[in-house]
Amino acid sequence: MVELEILTYPDQRLKQVSPPVRQFGEELRVFIARLEFTMRGSPGGVGIAAPQVGYFQRIVIVDVSAKPKIPGHGRMVLVNPEILSWEGMTRGREGCMSVPDFTGNVMRAERITMTAFDEEGNLQEYLCEGYEARAVQHEIDHLDGLLFLDRLVSRHTDLFRRKKYDNKICNYSA
Amino acid sequence: MSSWYMLTVVGEDRPGIVAGVTAALFKGGCNLGEASMMRLGGSFTIMLMVELGGSDDVLQQLVEPVARSLGLHVHIDSIEGQLHRHREPDVSITVYGADKTGIVARVTAVLAEAGLHILELESDVAGNRENPVYVMHIEGYAEKSIDLLRSALKVVECDGIEVSLEAVDTMIG
């Protein structure tokens, strides 16, 4: 299998909203396999969204199981994902295959509930927390044409946030 | 052939310093790189990577007029630095406590001994004149291990300084 080419900003195609998947079947399964192969070929990559490879449909893959000590669902294929609820806010550092050589701090919900279709077209429900919830939110942003650059917070913001929230901040590997 | 310089600018804070300095550099054909610019006390400070196809004298002449008109002190160093040399932090440390002399030296000494490579350090004095509170935030890279840094900090915690250390695991998506 050959890895798909990753679009990198300032490619304006990354800023567009992708429409939902309408048809499940062999073509979708083949694409998802190639998307996953591309994600696993990127060092440290725990998620990928279809628009990152120039395929503008609402498809995301997340798998944080390569990270030691981080709880999660393992391999998740999320087609037409919908976040139903958000809870808690935490700061964490993010990078993106589509924004090489830059990382920054982003506020994300600590816990989310979500529905998404799997690659067979079955509707699934998920409760994601911490690092995995962060990855899911980062990838779903790609479906709406948003990059983590759109959500950067300053370092000073972090210090003020620390005073407001005494729950764990950024502690994704503990 | 262009070279990189580190331009340091310090002056009494007032609106228009960044615009004035960067406009002069732009007109002189400079390319700007990474920078840190902030107000410290009543002063505004700039540390700015500047790329220029000329000597440091040329750069000095470019910023001289704006420096004079805004009352800025300028210093220029020729550097070997380049862009795209980022190093990712894997640990974030916050230290605070009643301000007393020697906090920074004490904390950073034990961290250096335990293998911390500091990538960024920001500090502030909060509270008021009677009861100043020192707040410091460090992002860095553990050359040995994060656990080693954690146990090293236990020593300074006993001195009435609050310390929190968190591992930073950058999510790449």
**Residue B149: inside a domain:** yes
- Tally of structural domains, chain B: 2
Residue B91 exposure: Cα atoms within 13 Å on the Cβ side? 23
- Of B29, B56, B78, the position where a domain reaches its end is B78
CB contact under 8 A, B169 and A67: yes
Q: Would B119 be classed as within a structural domain? A: yes
CATH fold of A12-164 reads: Peptide Deformylase (3.90.45)
Same structural domain, B163 and B97: yes
> Do B119 and B74 fall into the same domain?
no
In the prediction, which pLDDT does A163 show?
42
- A36's CB contacts (< 8 A; 6+ apart) are A48, A61, A75, A77
Cα distance between residue A174 and residue B146, in whole Å: 11
**Is B23 part of a structural domain of the chain?**
yes
B52, B113: one domain? no
Could you tell me the CATH number of the domain that includes residue B145? 3.30.70.260
Q: Are residues B110 and B161 in the same domain?
A: yes
CA-CA distance, B61 to A160, in Å (whole number)?
A: 41
The model's pLDDT over B77-126, given as tens digits with 9 standing for 90+, comes to 999 988 999 999 999 999 999 988 888 999 999 999 999 999 999 999 99
Work out the angle at residue A162's Cα, subtended by the Cα atoms of residues A158 and A168, and round it to the nearest 5 degrees: 110
Query: β-strands A47-49, B132-142: how paired?
Result: unpaired
CB-nearest to B88 from A103, A131, A174 is: A103
Smallest CA–CA distance, residue A120 to chain B, in Å, is: 24
Could you say which of B57, B78, B99 is where a domain stops?
Answer: B78
In a 3-state reduction of DSSP, which class is residue A20? coil
Position A161 scores a pLDDT of 46
Which residues of chain A register pLDDT less than 70?
155-174
B171: nearest CB among A94, A102, A171: A94
Note whether residue B42 is domain-resident. Answer: yes
Residue of A94, A119, A132, A139 with catalytic role: A139
Would you call A129 a catalytic residue per the annotation? no
Domain for residue B13, yes or no? yes
Residue B60, domain member (yes or no): yes
Is the residue at B85 inside a domain?
no
State the complex-level ipTM: 0.84
pLDDT for the residue A162: 45
Nearest-CB residue to A103 (from B120, B166, B170): B170
**B40 is in which domain, residue-wise?**
3-78
**Angstrom distance (rounded) from CA B100 to CA B131:** 10
Whether residue B50 sits in one domain with residue B25: yes
A162 neighbourhood in chain B, CB within 8 Å: 94
